């Protein structure tokens, strides 16, 4: 297979985008760790870092990273039933239920966190 195999068709391309979201999330994680480190280093360091995060490049990055994280979460939940086959008595729980409950839990936790932080 050629090096640009992921351009052969739409399915492969979307798969690659899904995998690449991990890069953005990894970078975001690094920025978050640096943030914690800056907090520990004192109020001046902290303010300087916040200013850095407010620059146009960093704002742009965060928007893209948020989109990537959303895409990642949506594809992740949609694929969740692949790994889990939960049986309730005679029948398997339908995929829609597993996906739906994942999304529901995600929304609840996100709302909770948003309320705590903001």
| Contacts to other proteins by CB under 8 A | 1, 5-6, 8-9, 11-12, 15, 19, 79, 81-85, 87, 89-90, 92
Neighbouring residues of 103: CB distance < 8 A, sequence distance ≥ 6: 77
Q: How far is CA 25 from CA 97, 105, 115, in A?
A: 27, 20, 22
Among 57, 64, 81, 83, residue whose Cα is nearest residue 24? 64
Q: Toward other proteins, which CB reaches closer, 43 or 89? A: 89
Q: How far is the CB of 117 from other proteins (least distance, A)?
A: 32
Q: Toward other proteins, which CB reaches closer, 23 or 48? A: 23
Q: Toward other proteins, which CB reaches closer, 22 or 101? A: 22
> Do 6 and 16 contact (CB within 8 A), yes or no?
yes
Q: How far is the CB of 77 from other proteins (least distance, A)?
A: 13
């Amino acid at each position: 297979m050629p090096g640009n195999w992921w351009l052969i068709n739409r399915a492969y391309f979307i798969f690659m985008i899904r995998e690449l979201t991990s890069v953005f999330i990894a970078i975001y994680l690094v920025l978050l760790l640096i943030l914690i480190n800056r907090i520990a280093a004192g109020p001046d360091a902290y303010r300087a870092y916040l200013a850095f995060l407010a620059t146009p490049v960093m704002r742009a990055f965060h928007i893209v990273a948020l989109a990537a994280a959303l895409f990642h979460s949506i594809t992740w939940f949609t694929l969740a039933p692949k790994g889990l086959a939960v049986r309730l008595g005679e029948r398997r729980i339908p995929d829609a239920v597993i996906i739906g409950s994942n999304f529901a839990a995600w929304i609840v936790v996100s709302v909770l966190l948003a309320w705590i932080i903001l």
